[in-house]
């Protein structure tokens, strides 16, 4: 099968959706499928285009049998509704023309976030006469509204309309949890259109080390501690402030340590929250 994977994020971005989509594309190639990926120039998590890709409108690469077709996006570190609008508009426009360059797919695999890319994907579906499988890694705009990233009523209405449009134009919707299924059912999406496919993990990739002579424990003064670890993407939607709130109730048990590992800039926000809450065990 020929599969067009449409995603904002892909290798070499280190966290978030990029590793998932990279593993998926390469895994499909290993199973005998042809895969081309339409994606942006690498920009995540700092919202800045990576140095080797700056100043380019388009570029095409190949990695582990996957054809990677990249396009320009206007990405800026400063968060604002206007910057986000320019980001979405630039990816919608330039990715569409990049997607037209290459063989005709049998299937378009579209990942969310984000929502606006569903529009060019649906046009491509008509041009290529192929179905869309929508892969939901987040429920938008619900998640963004819940954490306060989107407060403008007009923006919420626009994104809600795009959400319904994406659900309507997809032949099948792959969700990663039962909670996502329940959310879609509450929005009158037919049950037969929804498939629950949890995200995967390679349990052979990470090997637990013994506590004795453990460099990580020694470096972070964790010897003799019962460690509760979070390692991964740190954004507002992760809600890690809740973990810090819980940690304050465990301070009377000195053997317990809460450890959060992630990108330095994001950790600074959590460090301030720890100070505010007086959490000394994080």
Segment 11-28 mean pLDDT = 95
pLDDT at position 143: 83
- The angle subtended at Cα 237 by Cα 189 and Cα 204, nearest 5°, is 90
pLDDT(203) > 90: no
pLDDT at position 84: 85
Domain 2-196 fold is: Rossmann fold (3.40.50)
Break the chain into its structural domains and give their ranges: 2-196, 215-277
Beta carbons of 172 and 148 less than 8 angstroms apart: no
Tokens 């039962």 belong to residue: 178
Percent of the chain with pLDDT over 70: 99
pLDDT at position 85: 87
Segment 224-251 mean pLDDT = 88
pLDDT at position 1: 97
pLDDT at position 260: 93
- The closest alpha carbon to 279, from 203, 231, 209, 228, belongs to 228
pLDDT(231) > 80: yes
Q: What is the pLDDT of residues 149-165, one digit of tens each?
A: 788 888 889 999 999 99
Segment 240-266 mean pLDDT = 90
Q: What is the pLDDT of residues 25-84, one digit of tens each?
A: 999 999 999 999 999 999 998 899 999 999 999 999 999 999 999 999 999 988 787 888
194 Cβ partners below 8 Å, 6+ apart?
Answer: 172, 173, 175, 181, 184, 185
Long-range Cβ pairs for the range 126-130 (8 Å, 24+)? 127/100, 128/4, 128/104, 130/104, 130/105, 130/106
Cα 277 to Cα 280: distance, rounded to the nearest angstrom: 9
Cis geometry, peptide bond prior to residue 113 (ω within 30 degrees of 0): yes
């Amino acid at each position: 099968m020929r599969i067009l994977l449409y995603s904002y994020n892909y290798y070499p971005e280190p966290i978030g959706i990029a590793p998932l989509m990279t593993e998926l594309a390469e895994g499909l190639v290993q199973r005998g499928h042809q895969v081309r990926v339409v994606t942006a120039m690498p920009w995540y998590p700092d919202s800045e285009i990576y140095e080797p890709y700056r100043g380019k409108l388009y570029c095409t690469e190949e990695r582990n049998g996957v054809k990677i077709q990249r396009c320009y996006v206007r990405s800026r570190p400063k968060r604002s509704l206007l910057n986000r609008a320019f980001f979405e508009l630039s990816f919608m426009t330039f990715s569409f023309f990049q997607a037209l360059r290459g063989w005709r797919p049998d299937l378009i695999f579209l990942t969310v976030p984000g929502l606006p890319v569903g529009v060019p994907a649906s046009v491509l579906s008509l041009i290529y006469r192929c179905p869309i499988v929508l892969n939901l890694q987040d429920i938008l705009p619900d998640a963004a509204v819940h954490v306060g990233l989107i407060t403008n009523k007009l923006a919420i209405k626009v994104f809600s309309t795009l959400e319904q449009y994406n659900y309507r134009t997809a032949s099948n919707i792959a969700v990663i949890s039962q909670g996502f299924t329940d959310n879609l059912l509450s929005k009158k999406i037919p049950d037969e259109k929804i498939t629950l496919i949890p995200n995967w993990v390679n349990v052979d990739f990470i090997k637990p080390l013994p506590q004795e002579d453990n460099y990580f424990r020694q470096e972070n003064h964790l010897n003799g501690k019962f460690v509760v670890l979070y390692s991964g993407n740190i954004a507002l939607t992760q809600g890690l402030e809740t973990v810090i709130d819980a940690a304050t109730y465990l301070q009377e048990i000195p053997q317990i340590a809460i450890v959060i590992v992630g990108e330095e800039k994001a950790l600074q926000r959590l460090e301030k929250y720890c100070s505010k809450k007086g959490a000394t065990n994080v």
